[in-house]
Amino acid sequence: MILEWLITLLEMLGIVSASLGTIVVIMMLVAIVKKTVSKIKIPRRTKTMSKDTASEGVTFNDIFMFMIAVPLVLLWVGFAGFVIHSGLQDDSVLEQIEGYTTLIAILGGPALLIIKDALDVWKQEQAEKTAFYKMKAQSVIDYNAKAQEQAQMIEAKAQEQAHKMESKK
């Protein structure tokens, strides 16, 4: 019974994967067509947005993550949880545990690589943010120092001018 259910699950997974693959190919074709059409159009003048609010658009990596990577990781975690839950409830699952662990391992290899890459990208983004804020803080410190220096220079020139005017009287 569980073997039949597992086969049905794998068939459904195959159908879903094929559908997602078709969707990814269609989205890539649409992106290529849009890029080609945008080269033909006359560019319009638009108000530029700040870098913080500007959207970067959808990239192939975004499509890959949402259509393939995320479902794969969720399937891996979900199936592992299902096997654990079923193993606690039904002794027949424990008799076929080698097959289940093999399937979990097959799904787990790519899923772990995807998770590792996602964490690496996150770490890189955090490092970039940290570097940006350090640079921004240093710029503010430098700006304040130069503003103070300029204010002192203006005050010194004003006093110098006032002494010149007094000595002329």
Q: What is the spatial distance between Cα 87 and Cα 162, in angstroms, rounded to a whole number?
A: 92
Residue 33 structure tokens? 């067509």
Q: What is the pLDDT of residue 141?
A: 95
- Tell me the pLDDT tens digit for each residue of 93-108: 778 888 888 888 888 8
Tokens standing for residue 99: 């097959």
Stronger pLDDT, 19 or 52, i.e. the higher one: 19
Record the tokens describing residue 70, joined without a space: 């995320």
Extents of the domains making up the chain:
11-38+58-168
Condensed to tens digits (0 to 9), the pLDDT of residues 107-119 reads: 888 888 888 888 8
Query: Across residues 28-52, what is the average pLDDT?
Result: 60
Which whole number is the average pLDDT over 61-88?
A: 79
Residue 53, pLDDT score: 43
